Structures are given as structure tokens and as C-alpha cells.
Amino acid sequence: MFVFIERLIVFLIAISVIRSVLRFVQGLGGRIHMQTRGRANHPAAASAGTTMLQQDPVCGTYVAIDASLKTIVNGKVIHFCSPECRDRFRG
């Protein structure tokens, strides 16, 4: 009887933790999406102290444009998080 109750409590805690992690991850995705979408149309947003992010095409990491390594390919600026990712992209 106690084993069943113990397993039920562990299961409920696990479900709660999973739901909390999913909400946190969804919240991050929304903030990243909001920061990269429509920035040019909202100059007030740029002065609010937020950082515009771009996704590294090699590893998928979001990197601040100010801190990224930039390379121009076919007239388009590509942002990288590290020299290793830049070199893998070129190679």
C-alpha cells in the first residue's frame, strides 16, 4: 500500500516538474522570437536595452548581434557564436 502511494507521489511530482520546465522553455522561445521579429519597425524597442539575437546556422545557438562573429555570404550577414562554428560553416 505504501509503495503505491510513494509511486503516485513521485509520479505527480515528476509531472509537475516536466510541466514547469515546458512552460519555462516556451517562455524563452517567445522572448527570443519577440526580440528578433520586427526590430527595424520599432526603434523604441532598441533603446529599451534589449539585445537583438540571431541564430548561428551551424550549432543553432542564439547569439547577440553585438557579440557575434560576422561573415558576409552572397551579400547577407551571417552571425556565428564562435570561430569554430564560423570555420565549420566555411569548410
Q: 34 or 76, which is more confident?
A: 76
Neighbours of 69 (CB within 10 A): 16
With b for 16 or more beta-carbon neighbours within 10 A and e for fewer, the 27-59 pattern comes to: eeeeeeeebeeeeeeeeeeeeeeeeebbebebe
Cβ atoms of 89 and 58 within 8 Å: the answer is yes
Beta bridge partners of 54: 63
Give the pLDDT confidence of 61-85 residue by residue, as tens digits.
899 988 888 999 899 999 999 999 9
Give the pLDDT confidence of 41-59 residue by residue, as tens digits.
444 444 556 678 999 999 9
What value does the mean pLDDT take over residues 33-38?
49
